[in-house]
Amino acid sequence: MSALSHICGFDLTISSGTIAVVAGAEEVRQRLLCRLCTNPGDYIWQANFGAGLPAMIGDPMDVERIRGVIAAQIVQDPGVDSTEPVSVNILVGSDGRYDCSIAYVDAQNATTQTIGFSS
């Protein structure tokens, strides 16, 4: 199965005159980023969808809370093997920036996949 290629916060990608599509591990990666960047209630038909990370901007940094929210959301995606642990590392840079790296096991091919983002 495939889906439109779309990274949250960016435009759709045009490839060879058509909208680009993704499948497999990249499709799961894009779905996870969408889930993390969506606030609960933003999708009217799926009110509980989303980790709510954007709503946490401006709050005091609570690494354990954020780590727990991310891990709980990652295992809800059908492309993630929920029987395997999810690793969420959040590091604080000397410039005050937070770097988050997430490792999970792909349900389709049983390989470890990673995604990351910075604040």
Q: What is the pLDDT along the chain (119 residues), one digit of tens a residue?
A: 677 666 776 667 787 888 888 889 999 999 999 999 999 999 899 898 999 988 888 888 889 999 999 999 999 999 999 999 999 999 987 787 889 999 999 999 999 999 998 87
Domain spans of the chain, in order of start: 2-118
What confidence score (pLDDT) does residue 14 get? 80
What confidence score (pLDDT) does residue 22 get? 80
The DSSP secondary-structure symbol of 66 reads H
Q: Are strands 87-92 and 14-15 parallel, antiparallel or unpaired?
A: unpaired
The hierarchical CATH code for the domain 2-118 is 3.10.450.40
What confidence score (pLDDT) does residue 40 get? 93
**What 3-state DSSP class applies to 94?**
coil
